Chain A
Amino acid sequence: MKNEYIPFPSQVKEIIQHTDIEYTFRMSFSGDVKPGQFFEVSIPKYGEAPISVSGIGKDTIDLTIRKVGKVTNKIFGHYEGNTLLIRGPYGNGFDVEKFKGREVVVIAGGTGLSPVKGIVDYFARHPEDAVQTTLIAGFRSPGDILFKEDFKDWEKTIKVIKTVDSAPEGYDGLIGMVTKYIPDLPLTDIPNTVFITVGPPVMIKFTIMEILKRNVPEENIWISHERKMCCGLGKCGHCKMDGTYICLDGPVFNYAEGKDLID
C-alpha cells in the first residue's frame, strides 16, 4: 500500500524574488493540481510546512514561500539548483468552472494572494470567460508587494486594485485596506457575482462584512482557511474545525458552509 508520508523530490526550476523574505519557487511537478490546493514541502531534518500552489504551469507548480518559520527559513538556504522534497497536492482547491460566466471579484491580503493567484491568472488569460474580473490585492507596505511582474500582465486584461495599508510619503499607489474599495465596486449583476477572498483571519472577517453589505448572497462568497496541517491526510488533527478537516474538506469553502466553522 502507498505510504503517503514519504515525500518525493521536485527540482527547483526557477526562483522569483518578490520581497526580502518572499520568493516563488517554480518546481517540477506533473499531475492534476488546482489553485488553492497545497503541498507539504520539507527540508529533511528540519521539518515540513504546508504551502499553497501559487501558479500552475506545464509540468511545473509555483510555491510562494515566506521566510517566517523554522522550515521556511531553512528552505531559503537550500535552494540553489537543488531539489526540495514535497508531497501532495492536498485539499479541494478552487474550481474555476464555478466562476465562469459571472462577475468575479478576488480579494486577497498579503500571501493570501498565493492560493487565489491561479484563478486570477486564468481570468487574466481568458477575460472573455467572465463578465468582468476584478482583483483587489492588499499588502502591508509597498515593500511587501508580491508578484510585481504578474500585476503588470493582469492590468492589461482585468481590473486591478493594488493597495497598501500604509506607505512612506511620496508613494504614488493606492493606500488603504482592501475593505475600502468594496462599497464602490461597480457591479452590474450582484446575484450573479462571485467573491473569492483569502487572507489573514481579521481581513477575511471585515471583508465579508463589507461584501454582505452589498447584498451579495452568502453562497456567492468563497474563502480559504489557513490552518496548521502536519499531515494533510486527515490524521494529525491540528486543522480540524468542528467536524471538518480543513486538509481534506477544505481549505476552500463556500461561505454559506464555511461561516459556521469555529476554531
Chain B
Amino acid sequence: MGYQVSREAADRVFEQLGQDYDVFAPKVFAGEGCFSDTDVIRYGKVNTLDEIEWERRSDYSFKEVLLAVNETLFYFTENETTVPSCGEKKILIFLKSCDLHALKKLDTIYLENGPEDFYYKRLREKASFVLMGCSETCENGFCASMGTNRSEDYDLYLRLSGETVSIDCKDPDLQAYFEKEDGKACDVTPGYVTENAEKVTLPKNLSVDSFAKPIWEEYGSRCIGCGRCNFVCPTCTCFTMQDILYRDNENVGERRRVWASCQVDGYTEIAGGVDFRKTQGERMRFKVMHKIYDFEKRFGYPMCVGCGRCDTVCPEYISYASLIDKLAKEEA
C-alpha cells in the first residue's frame, strides 16, 4: 500500500532522513565526463531530492558505495594493524531496478562465496535501498531480456511528479519518517519498462566446448584491454591487494583493495611471470562466460543484469549484447 505526499513534505522527510542516513544517489557531475564538455553521472552523497538524477542511467553503478574503488583494509604501524571505522550513519542508496538485481550478485560473492567479507558486510547491514522507476529504456540496456526490468525487493520506492511525490515503503524504519507527514493513501506501483530497443536472447547450450569458438577472438581482437566495461559493471566484483607506505614515515602504511579488471594485463599473472590469459580474445571469453554461463552454473542464476553500461562505455564500440545474441543465433 502506498501513498502520496506533497513535494514540500517529501523535502522535509528527506532532511530528517539526512540526520540518520548518508544518502547516495546518481548525480550529474557537470563537465567531468571523459571528453571535453561532457558530463558524467555517478554516485555521490546527496542532501536534497533535487540533486538526484532521476531519469538517465548512471554511467557508473551504485556498487562503489558498498565496494569502494579503493578501500583501505587496515593501517600498519610497526607490527600493529588498525582497521578503519566505517561511520556511524546508516546508508540509503537510490538505484534503478537493474542495479537492485545486481545487488543480489554482489551479496552472492561477498557473503556466500567462502567466508563473509567483513568490510562488505558492515556496510551492507546498514544499507537500505530506494528504487527509482524507469519511464523509458536507456541506451543499450536490455533489462527486459534479462528479466531485471522489475524489482519488488526495495525498501522504499519514490516517484516525483510535479508537486506530488508517490511512495511505497516496505521498511518500517523508513516508514516512520513518512508517517509524520499527512499523506493520501493510494496504490503506488513502481514504473518500469516492458521493452528495450536492444533485445538479447541468451544462449542456452553453452559448455566448456564453447571456449573454443572463434567468436571470442573475433570480438576480442578489437579490444584494447582498458577494463572500463568491468568498472562500470554493477556485478563485477574483482579486486587486487595493494600495499602502500607513507613517504614521510616508511614504518607506516596501509593495505588496500582496489578494483581489478579481467581484461587488463596482469590480472592472471603470477610471480615468475606466468600469465594464464594472454590474449584479449581469451579475456573476452572469460568475462562473457562468467556473466552468462559459469556464475549461473555455480550459484543458480545468471550474473549479467542487462544494464548495458559496458556497451555504452566501450571506446572500441564492442557490443557485449550483440556478442551474446550472436552466440544464441549460432546455437539455433
Listed in ascending order, the chain A residues whose CB lies under 8 Å from chain B are 1-7, 9, 42, 44-49, 66, 68-69, 71-72, 83, 200-201, 226-228, 230-231, 233-238, 240, 242-245, 247-248, 260, 262-263
Q: Is the CB of B240 within 8 A of A236?
A: yes
Residue of A nearest to B76 (CB): A44
Q: Is the CB of B117 within 8 A of A200?
A: no
Q: Is the CB of A69 within 8 A of B245?
A: no
Q: Which residue of the partner chain, among B117, B245, B250, B272, contacts A233 with CB atoms under 8 Å?
A: B117
Q: Is the CB of B241 within 8 A of A235?
A: no
Q: Is the CB of B253 within 8 A of A1?
A: no
CA A260 to CA B294, docked complex, whole Å: 13
Taking CB atoms and an 8 Å cut-off, the chain B residues in 90-147 that contact chain A are 109-110, 113-119, 121
Taking CB atoms and an 8 Å cut-off, the chain B residues in 272-323 that contact chain A are 272, 274, 276-277, 282, 286, 289-290, 294-295, 297-298
Query: Given A83-B79, A243-B295 in contact, is the A235-B276 Cβ separation under 8 Å?
Result: no
Q: Is the CB of A237 within 8 A of B268?
A: no
Which of A3, A230, A233 is the most central at the interface, judged by chain B CB atoms within 10 Å of its CB?
A3
Query: Given A1-B121, A248-B113 in contact, is the A235-B237 Cβ separation under 8 Å?
Result: yes
Q: Which residue of the partner chain, among B119, B268, B297, contacts A228 with CB atoms under 8 Å?
A: B268
CA A237 to CA B259, docked complex, whole Å: 11
Instruction: Please name all residues of chain A whose beta carbon is closer than 8 Å to the beta carbon of B208 when the two chains form the complex.
Output: 242, 260, 262
CA A71 to CA B272, docked complex, whole Å: 12
Instruction: Please name all residues of chain A whose beta carbon is closer than 8 Å to the beta carbon of B119 when the two chains form the complex.
Output: 3, 5
Instruction: Please name all residues of chain B whose beta carbon is closer than 8 Å to the beta carbon of A4 when the two chains form the complex.
Output: 115, 117-118
Nearest CB of chain B from residue A27's CB, rounded to whole Å: 15
Nearest CB of chain A from residue B60's CB, rounded to whole Å: 19
CA A236 to CA B109, docked complex, whole Å: 9
Q: Which residue of the partner chain, among A48, A227, A260, contacts B270 with CB atoms under 8 Å?
A: A227
Instruction: Please name all residues of chain A whose beta carbon is closer than 8 Å to the beta carbon of B20 when the two chains form the complex.
Output: none
Q: Is the CB of A238 within 8 A of B243?
A: no
Which of B79, B81, B83, B241 is the most central at the interface, judged by chain A CB atoms within 10 Å of its CB?
B241
Number of interface residues of B (CB under 8 A): 50
Query: Given A45-B76, A227-B268, A228-B269 in contact, is the A242-B294 Cβ separation under 8 Å?
Result: yes
Of the A-B pairs whose beta carbons lie under 8 Å apart in the complex, a sample of 18, sorted by A's number, is A5-B119, A7-B81, A44-B255, A48-B241, A49-B271, A68-B271, A200-B274, A228-B270, A230-B241, A234-B114, A235-B114, A237-B237, A237-B239, A240-B290, A240-B294, A245-B114, A248-B114, A260-B208
Instruction: Please name all residues of chain A whose beta carbon is closer than 8 Å to the beta carbon of B73 when the two chains form the complex.
Output: 5
Q: Is the CB of A237 within 8 A of B255?
A: no
Which of B81, B83, B110, B277 is the most central at the interface, judged by chain A CB atoms within 10 Å of its CB?
B81
CA A245 to CA B298, docked complex, whole Å: 10
- Kindly list 11 other residue pairs between chains A and B, CB separation below 8 angstroms, not including A45-B243, A247-B114: A45-B244, A45-B245, A48-B241, A69-B271, A200-B274, A226-B270, A227-B276, A230-B240, A236-B241, A238-B267, A263-B277
Instruction: Please name all residues of chain A whose beta carbon is closer than 8 Å to the beta carbon of B81 when the two chains form the complex.
Output: 6-7, 44
Taking CB atoms and an 8 Å cut-off, the chain B residues in 127-169 that contact chain A are none
Instruction: Please name all residues of chain B whose beta carbon is closer than 8 Å to the beta carbon of A47 when the two chains form the complex.
Output: 241-243
Residue of B nearest to A70 (CB): B271
Nearest CB of chain B from residue A144's CB, rounded to whole Å: 13
Instruction: Please name all residues of chain A whose beta carbon is closer than 8 Å to the beta carbon of B240 when the two chains form the complex.
Output: 230, 236, 238
Instruction: Please name all residues of chain B whose beta carbon is closer than 8 Å to the beta carbon of A240 when the two chains form the complex.
Output: 290, 294
Q: How does the 8 Å CB contact mask read for B27-57 relative to A, with 1 for contact and 0 for none?
A: 0000000000000000000000000000000
CA A3 to CA B241, docked complex, whole Å: 15
Instruction: Please name all residues of chain B whose beta carbon is closer than 8 Å to the beta carbon of A228 when the two chains form the complex.
Output: 267-270, 276
Query: Given A6-B83, A45-B76, A68-B271 in contact, is the A231-B260 Cβ separation under 8 Å?
Result: no
